[in-house]
Amino acid sequence: RQVQYFAGLDADALTRLSAQVRERKYEVGETVLTEGEPCEGLYFVVSGRVKVYKLSSDGKEQVLRILGPGRTFNDVPVFDGGPNPGSIATMEPSTIGMVPRAAVLALVEKHPQVAKAVSRVLASRMRALTLMIEDLALRGVMARVAKLLLDCSRGHETLMEGAGGACARLTQHQIATMTGSVREVVQRALKTLENDGAIRLERARVVVLDQAILERWSESSGSPRA
């Protein structure tokens, strides 16, 4: 029942569905799905955390979303029949479940509440993707980093679904991949925010001290940029 799509199913339907779920354990950094491969089914996080990302031709990574327990991924190709639209890798030891595509489509046909849940989740993610495009196109790195940390501190799930605790453990490399920048530029941005009293940098941890300062920076056009 932790999976959003299936929360409204009765006990019998859940039992039948559970019999079709395939689970697999992954170590940290393992690839779960690769962009462009055929879709086998709907995946969800049982435990752990995963990142959804795209790679450019020169190997630059753009993280689209971080997902925690109960969150699904590879949803779109289940319904449009296309290939995997992005790659998925684990960020910590994780258990991943998969429901075959045919079983998901049958559930949507038979249970209107599942179809409604699917539409809500996909609409929410479309909104989040639109906001990400806006940030990448219209904000500098300084503003993007500040906005990411601000959203995390407020518990917003624009980039992190069911993985809010991950915010405090974000590395500079991960922040760079989530804001369309590089580690060196993000490092300068974080130092500027620390000097301004917005955050405190600890070992492998960013502590938010002042949301108002972060909000001001999130709307700014100041350096650094990349």
Residue ranges per domain, the chain?
A: 4-132, 140-218
**Predicted confidence (pLDDT) per residue in 62-113, tens digit:** 999 999 999 999 999 999 999 999 999 999 999 999 999 999 999 999 999 9
What's the whole-model pTM score? 0.84
Whether domain 4-132 has CATH 2.60.120.10: the reply is yes
What is the residue-wise DSSP string for 127-139? HHHHHHHHHHHHS
**Predicted confidence (pLDDT) per residue in 122-169, tens digit:** 998 899 889 888 888 888 999 999 999 998 888 777 777 876 666 667
* Cα gap 153→148, rounded to integer Å: 9
Q: Under CATH, what is the fold of the domain 140-218? A: Arc Repressor Mutant, subunit A (1.10.10)
Helix pair 172-179, 141-153: axis angle to 10 deg: 110
